Amino acid sequence: MDFNSPRHTPLGPLASDALEHLEPSMWEAEGTNRETAREVLEDQGFTESEADAALTQLLSRGYLYEVNGDLYLTPTGDDRERS
C-alpha cells in the first residue's frame, strides 16, 4: 500500500462501487459536476441518498476533489500511465 498516495484511506463498499462507476466517465471528461456524477450513479442503481453519501465519502477521503463546483479524480502515481 502506497501511503504517499491520497488513495490510501479505505472506502466503504458503497463508495468503492461508486468510484468504479465514476472513474471511466471522469477520465473522459476530466471532471464533472456533482449532479452529473449523481446521475451516473443513479443510472447504475444507486438511490439519490446513496449517491450523495458515496460522493461525500469520496470527497472527504480524498478520492475526489472539487473545484468551482466540478468534481475531479485525485491524481495518483497510476494516473501518469493513463496519459
Name the band, by pLDDT with cuts 50, 70 and 90, for residue 9: confident
Rounded Cα distance between 27 and 82, Å, is 9
Model pLDDT, residue 35: 95
Model pLDDT, residue 2: 46
Q: Helix, strand, coil % (nearest 5) of the chain?
A: 55, 10, 30
Domain boundaries, the chain: 12-70
Rounded Cα distance between 16 and 51, Å, is 11
Model pLDDT, residue 82: 47
Give ∠ CA 19-24-30 in degrees, rounded to 5. Answer: 100
Rounded Cα distance between 58 and 63, Å, is 5
